[in-house]
Amino acid sequence: MLKQRFVLDTTALTDLQTREVMGYASLCEGMKAILNLIAEARLQFGISCYVPYPSVYKEMYEFASRNGCDREVMAKIDTWLVKKSPDRYRVNVTSQIFHEYVAYMRERINRGMGVAEDAIWEAATECLFMEKPQNKKKEYKEEVEREVIGGIIGKFRNKYRAALRYGILDSAPDIDVLILAKELDAAVIASDYGIEKWAEQLGVRFVPANIFPMMIKEYLKHLPESEKSPEPGSRDKNKKGPSEEAEFI
């Protein structure tokens, strides 16, 4: 069997939909379960899961720390994910990709600018139709900021992210994931649409984060019975007594 290689984005371990599919409410338990599957796949099939170092590794580690995950999760990240820096100088990417990316970014920036202009017009219109109290300039300013500007800014941020950031590579770790996958001829695991879109452009295999655990389970289901690992905590009922040392190894 050809050994598989995967390159993990942070979202491969932190995606909410993946946790829901696996039945875990806690982020830390979800991360631990995925890392346990990766460990099984490594031991049983020699499947290698890489993480770009230091960019994505650091992002993963900090995400786990901020969410209160215990040292066991950190140890699993260090043990079962292969840390590797992408070779940014040797991986060749066609100039057509950069041409398309620049054109795409120009379009997204213009769309973001349109959202900003709409927000400004909405704020100005709301302010004009408000009744201005006499001799209460300070109170009026606070009311405008609280009741008008605050709400509009909130809507603006959501629309701006949707118009400009969704579907683009907007961080160095995103690019590192794609470069490393290209270098290793590996599949990318992520729940980021920007990574998915540009993986297709680069000819890199892409596996959605919520599909990855099921893929590993499918591999493990087809192990010969003699090679399957026992369930954690299970014991052979036919083995009795302390004289049979194999039970306690």
Q: In the predicted model, is pLDDT for residue 164 greater than 90?
A: no
Kindly state the tokens that stand for 154: 């909130």
Q: What is the pTM of this model?
A: 0.72
What share of the chain has pLDDT > 70, as a percent?
81
Q: In the predicted model, is pLDDT for residue 1 greater than 70?
A: no
Q: How far apart are alpha carbons 71 and 26 in whole angstroms?
A: 15
What local confidence, expressed as pLDDT, does residue 118 receive? 83
Q: Each residue of 170-222: pLDDT tens digit?
A: 788 999 999 999 999 999 999 988 899 899 989 999 999 999 999 999 999 98
What local confidence, expressed as pLDDT, does residue 12 receive? 97
- Which of 191, 172, 180, 186 has the alpha carbon at shortest distance from 30? 191
CA dihedral 49, 172, 18, 30 (to 10 degrees): 70
Pairing of strands 82-84, 206-208: unpaired
Pairing of strands 48-52, 5-8: parallel
Three-state DSSP class for 225?
helix
As beta bridge partners, residue 83 has 51
Of 17-21, 25-29, 116-120, 138-142, least confident by mean pLDDT is 138-142
The count of residues in the chain is 249
Give the confidence band of 107 by pLDDT, cuts at 50, 70, 90. Answer: confident
Q: Each residue of 135-145: pLDDT tens digit?
A: 555 666 666 66
Q: How far apart are alpha carbons 132 and 136 in whole angstroms?
A: 8
Q: How far apart are alpha carbons 87 and 176 in whole angstroms?
A: 9
Segments of the chain assigned E as strands: 5-8, 48-52, 82-84, 187-190, 206-208
146 DSSP 8-state letter: I
Q: Each residue of 71-102: pLDDT tens digit?
A: 999 999 999 999 999 998 999 888 788 778 87
Q: How far apart are alpha carbons 143 and 166 in whole angstroms?
A: 33
SS (H, E, C) 60-125: HHHHHHHCCCCHHHHHHHHHHCEEECCCCCCCCCCHHHHHHHHHHHHHHHHHHHHHHHHHHHHHHH
What local confidence, expressed as pLDDT, does residue 130 receive? 64
Q: In the predicted model, is pLDDT for residue 133 greater than 70?
A: no
Report the chain's mean pLDDT, rounded to a whole number.
Answer: 83
Q: How far is CA 190 from the centre of its chain?
A: 5
Q: How far apart are alpha carbons 79 and 35 in whole angstroms?
A: 9
As beta bridge partners, residue 187 has 6
